């Protein structure tokens, strides 16, 4: 049972014609079902989207012409630059309270320093992507150093997750620090079957502002974009403080959260495109 669909059916019963109600009730066969949520009235995760790097090698309209196949009012939550105590734990608690699954792009050095936090992210059924070893701009270092940054980062994340320092990521998702890609590094990742994530919108949470200001900015941008991959930073205190209100906003304004997984995970749990 999916909370979002149940909520929408209740709303639909009084507000929209029967034909729309039927369309809402009939979940598309290509979507995987999100697991049930024990928290009454929670936002929940509406569906699971398997992202095949062969079909979606680069996504996010801030950097690339293509994004994920999201419907109107569907969002994907992504968090960069963790893990980092204490705010990653606060972000995880806010997500758990609303049964929302997100994607975390980890810095390898931090994953090495806080492996227990990495395992908490994974235990919360979130997706772990990669964000280099030490977060340099890959535009401004040598090609050999770029490969090292990518591989060392993946290996550190995998070590924290699974105890093996492999450079083959269990989830082939990567985001460039500062979105600073180069043609050569994009080719390298594509050749290795790793999808590159940009973003469709963000809260500019690298700038100092109050949680209220950040919420207002993000909500205004989402109102214009209507959907998309949202970039946030879990180490930021203002973002951890803002997140519970933002998740409430999503619920109260009929947004759905889509959880990204690699194709391998989707095949293991349920059928997906």
d(CA 234, CA 94): 11
Decide: residue 65, CB within 10 A, 0-12 exposed, 13-18 middle, 19+ buried: exposed
The stretch near Zn ion (CB under 5 A) out of 84-92, 94-102, 114-122, 173-181 is 173-181
Q: Report the residue from 31, 74, 80, 200 that binds Zn ion according to the rule CB under 5 A.
A: 80
DSSP string, 138-152: GGGS-HHHHHHHHHH
Q: Report the residue from 81, 151, 158, 205 that binds Zn ion according to the rule CB under 5 A.
A: 81
- Selection from 43, 109, 15, 34 nearest residue 251 by Cα: 43
How many other CB atoms are found less than 10 A from the CB of residue 8?
20
CB nearer to Zn ion: give 3 or 160.
160
Q: Which helix (H) or strand (E) holds 196?
A: strand 195-197
**Across the strands, what pairs with 205?**
none
Shortest reach from residue 176's CB to Zn ion, in Å:
8
Per-residue DSSP letter, 137: -
Question: Residues 186-193: contacts with CB within 8 Å, 24+ apart?
Answer: 186/58, 188/146, 188/147, 188/150, 189/57, 189/150, 190/53, 190/57, 190/58, 193/53, 193/54
Shortest reach from residue 16's CB to Zn ion, in Å:
41
Show contacts with Zn ion in window 46-65 (CB under 5 A): none
Q: Is 177 a residue that touches Zn ion (CB under 5 A)? A: yes
CB-based contact 73:228 (threshold 8 Å):
no
Residue 125 Ramachandran class (φ > 0 left, ψ -120 to 50 alpha, else beta): left
The stretch near Zn ion (CB under 5 A) out of 6-14, 80-88, 186-194, 206-214 is 80-88
Shortest reach from residue 261's CB to Zn ion, in Å:
22
CB nearer to Zn ion: give 46 or 110.
110
Select the residue whose beta carbon is closest to Zn ion and give its number.
80
CB nearer to Zn ion: give 48 or 160.
160
The stretch near Zn ion (CB under 5 A) out of 18-26, 176-184, 240-248, 262-270 is 176-184
The stretch near Zn ion (CB under 5 A) out of 84-92, 121-129, 170-178, 197-205 is 170-178
CB nearer to Zn ion: give 80 or 149.
80
Shortest reach from residue 81's CB to Zn ion, in Å:
4
CB nearer to Zn ion: give 9 or 206.
206
Binding residues vs Zn ion (CB under 5 A) = 80-81, 177
């Amino acid at each position: 049972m999916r909370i979002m669909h149940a909520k929408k059916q209740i709303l639909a019963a009084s507000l929209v014609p029967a034909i729309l109600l039927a369309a809402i009730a009939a979940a598309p066969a290509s979507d995987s079902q999100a697991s049930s949520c024990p928290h009454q009235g929670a936002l929940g995760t509406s569906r699971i989207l398997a992202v095949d790097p062969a079909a979606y090698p680069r996504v996010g309209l801030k950097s690339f012409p293509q994004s994920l196949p999201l419907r109107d009012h569907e969002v994907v939550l992504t968090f960069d630059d963790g893990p980092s105590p204490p705010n990653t734990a606060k972000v995880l608690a806010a997500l758990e309270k609303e049964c929302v699954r997100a994607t975390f792009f980890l810095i390898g050095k931090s994953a090495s320093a806080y492996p227990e936090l990495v395992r908490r992210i994974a235990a919360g059924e979130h997706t772990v992507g990669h964000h280099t070893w030490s977060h340099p701009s890959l535009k401004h270092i040598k090609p050999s150093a770029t490969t090292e940054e990518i591989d060392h980062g993946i290996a550190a994340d995998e070590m924290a997750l699974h105890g093996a320092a492999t450079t083959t990521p269990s989830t082939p998702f990567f985001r460039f620090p500062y979105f600073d890609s180069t043609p050569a590094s994009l080719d390298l990742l594509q050749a290795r079957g790793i999808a590159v994530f940009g973003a469709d919108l963000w809260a500019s949470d690298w700038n100092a502002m109050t949680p209220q200001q950040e919420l207002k900015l993000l909500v205004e941008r989402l109102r214009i974009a209507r959907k998309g991959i949202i970039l946030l930073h879990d180490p930021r205190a203002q973002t951890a403080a803002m997140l519970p209100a933002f998740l409430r906003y999503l619920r109260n304004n009929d947004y759905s959260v889509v959880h990204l997984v690699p194709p391998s995970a989707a095949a293991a749990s349920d059928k997906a495109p």
